[in-house]
Structure 1
Amino acid sequence: MGRAPILLVNEITYPILAAFGIPANVLTAAIMYRGKCGLSRGITRYMMAMAISDLLVIIFHVLIKKLYIDYYPNSFLSRSTVCPSNIYLRIVTLDYSVWLTVSFTFDRFVSICCQKLRLAYCTERTAAVVILSLCALSCLKFIPFHFMYEPLSSKDNLNWGCRPKAAFFSSIWWVVFSWMCSISVSLLPFGLILILNGLTVRNIVAASRVRRHLKGQGGKDSEVENRRKSIVLLFSVSGTYILLWTTSTVVFICTRVTVSFVDGDYTNPSSIAHEVGVLLMILSSCANTCIYGMTQSRFRQEVKNALKCSTAFISKPMKLALQRA
């Protein structure tokens, strides 16, 4: 009997995600660090932090888990002493990436809808504090992951793999912790981004109607045009997040709320939906670079400059070698 189609899709897709996502996020972080994209310093800090967090998601979820541990199950990383740390790092990096998107969305919501608060909140200092605080919170709230697993099997006096302890399914504290993890990574951020974007859209529509009424119908309103351009990045980033996380969020609601957990049968619709949700969820870590390229002309120019410098750096030694030959 052949392998399930979803597993074949994973085998093809994950290497492509790693090959594209790692260099793309490294390049994005480097460009944002230079600060020459015409964005405010606060937004630039968020963009750089999001690129780094997305890079970590790809490293721990794709490179280490999907492309190394799954293909080399007897490696050092599959030891029972290391396995809980791998799971901890995967959930921390994913949670951090998600909440950076939420914090960026909230920052843009304040900038557009809360004029009095904007001057105090939408600053480089606030962005730095939020970024560091979210990192610390993500690391702290998942510490119990180090204590909830036991060895999966034993071979040659070595313990391999890990699985949740029996108490995880019976203890009320572990059940509460499990729900907290699921809600923190999936449901709560998804809902907050939807609400913040809805409030932002309502504010923009109301403000545009007032300005059109005051200025009349003739001619273009430069203020409205500038506001429209300023929110393109917000809606592109948060909209892509909503699109790519919808499947994962729906699977969470259908499985956790109805207490019908996903099994290991990859021909089962719930398992297929879960795998597709995870794939799209990780794909969102590669999407922001494409978004910046499509919406930010200065970012595209910086990418071109970086590629020119790289080409010149590589071609110069080759030309010298050919001349000597």
Structure 2
Amino acid sequence: MIDLSSSNVTIDDLIIDNADLYESIRRSFARDPFEHYVNGICGLFICFLGIISNALSFSILIRRTMRLSTYVYLAGLCLSDFTTCLFLIPAYILDAYPIEILDCELPRTYAYTQILIITIDAISTTTRVLSVWLCVAFTIDRWIMICRPFDSPIYCTMKIARHITFFIYVVGVFYAVPLMFEYESHEEIVLTELFSTDHSKKFYRYKLSVFGKNFIFRWIYVLINALGVYLIPLTTIIILNRKLLLSIRLLERRSAEYNAPLPTKQGIIKKDSLII
């Protein structure tokens, strides 16, 4: 217990003025300039650029003249990247609000925006995973066509490419559904009482739901992301791209030895277009 008689501290010194407390709490909601300029301004610019470029690429890749299985995977990749950019825009718009506006005053403190943010985060996360696996499918298709040319008529067809792309999107739906229930909207009663004079405006944040806190779900989610999103696909892409580059260099050396032109079949593509 503090002995006030032996010190110069009085009871009045321990009382915090309400105005000072209010101002201190307001300052704690000051927004980070990095998030404003990088996530907000630059993020919006990149998203709009990605939407336009992916939409144009998709419109070209689905033409009847594009009769390669590679173009099917690239069209699916453009569609997933387009969706990612589209669903990232709402969150970046909130970050792009004038930096003078406090975090607690942004529209994301409303209940409907919290539900919207939870939904779009789940969708954008899923489409990024789809893009990774479509890159894997594209790389495997190129590897078969260049390193296993006799197998390419069997496996590198438009029909198989469409089925694989559709299967990846179906798996993506099952991946996205649990993410929809990982978080839930939660009212911040303290913020409502502090910053809302008439209490008509309520402040909400999202937090882990009961399902999201489940120990089994957390471990399964971490395991799937570690193996299925990072380790397996990235390792596959690195190994197969290395094999592709070695095969093309070998082909170039043999062509130079015999003074023969490189094959111009649609199955052989230029080296600089192998790496995405």
TM-score (norm 2): 0.69
- Matched with 1:103 is 137
Q: CA deviation at 1:15?
A: 2.2
Structure 1 56/124 Cα, relative in aligned 2: closer, same or farther at 3 Å? same
AA matched with 1:41: L
- Matched with 1:255 is none
- Matched with 1:73 is 108
Please say which of residues 115-124 and 153-162 is displaced more in the overlay.
153-162
Does 2:175 match 1:141?
A: yes
**Unmatched 5+ residue regions in structure 2?**
1-29, 98-106, 193-199
Q: CA deviation at 1:199?
A: 1.6
**Higher RCO structure, 1 or 2 (CA under 8 Å, sep 6+):** 1
Q: Is residue 99–residue 134 contact of structure 1 (8 Å, CA) maintained in 2?
A: yes
| 1:48 partner SS | helix
AA matched with 2:206: C
Q: Is residue 91–residue 117 contact of structure 2 (8 Å, CA) maintained in 1?
A: no
Judging by fraction of residues, say which structure has more helix.
1
- Matched with 1:57 is 84
Q: 1:174 aligns with which of 211, 214, 218?
A: 218
- Matched with 1:263 is none
Q: CA deviation at 1:6?
A: 5.6
| 2:263 partner SS | helix
Partners of 1:220 and 1:229 in 2: how far apart? 17
Q: CA deviation at 1:223?
A: 2.3
AA matched with 1:181: N
Report the RMSD for the aligned CA atoms in angstroms: 3.2
Q: 1:87 aligns with which of 114, 121, 128?
A: 121
Deviations 1:83-127 (A, max 9, x none): 432222111111112211111111101111112321111110011
Structure 1 4/183 Cα, relative in aligned 2: closer, same or farther at 3 Å? farther
- Matched with 1:317 is none
Partners of 1:110 and 1:234 in 2: how far apart? 13
Deviations 1:179-215 (A, max 9, x none): 31344333432222111101212223334444555x2
Please say which of residues 14-23 and 65-74 is displaced more in the overlay.
65-74
**Unmatched 5+ residue regions in structure 1?**
238-325
Q: Is residue 36–residue 95 contact of structure 2 (8 Å, CA) maintained in 1?
A: no
Partners of 1:42 and 1:225 in 2: how far apart? 14
Structure 1 173/109 Cα, relative in aligned 2: closer, same or farther at 3 Å? same
TM-score (norm 1): 0.60
Structure 1 183/165 Cα, relative in aligned 2: closer, same or farther at 3 Å? farther
Q: 2:70 aligns with which of 43, 46, 59?
A: 43
Q: Is residue 35–residue 44 contact of structure 1 (8 Å, CA) maintained in 2?
A: no
AA matched with 2:184: E
* Larger radius of gyration between Structure 1 and Structure 2: 2
Q: 1:15 aligns with which of 32, 44, 51?
A: 44
Please say which of residues 195-204 and 83-92 is displaced more in the overlay.
83-92
* Overall identity of the aligned pairs, in %: 20
- Matched with 1:188 is 232
- Matched with 1:114 is 148
Partners of 1:53 and 1:162 in 2: how far apart? 26
| 1:84 partner SS | helix
Count of aligned positions: 228
Q: CA deviation at 1:134?
A: 0.3
Structure 1 84/10 Cα, relative in aligned 2: closer, same or farther at 3 Å? closer
Partners of 2:243 and 2:262 in 1: how far apart? 23
Q: CA deviation at 1:34?
A: 2.3
Does 2:54 match 1:25?
A: yes
Partners of 1:152 and 1:131 in 2: how far apart? 37
AA matched with 1:93: T
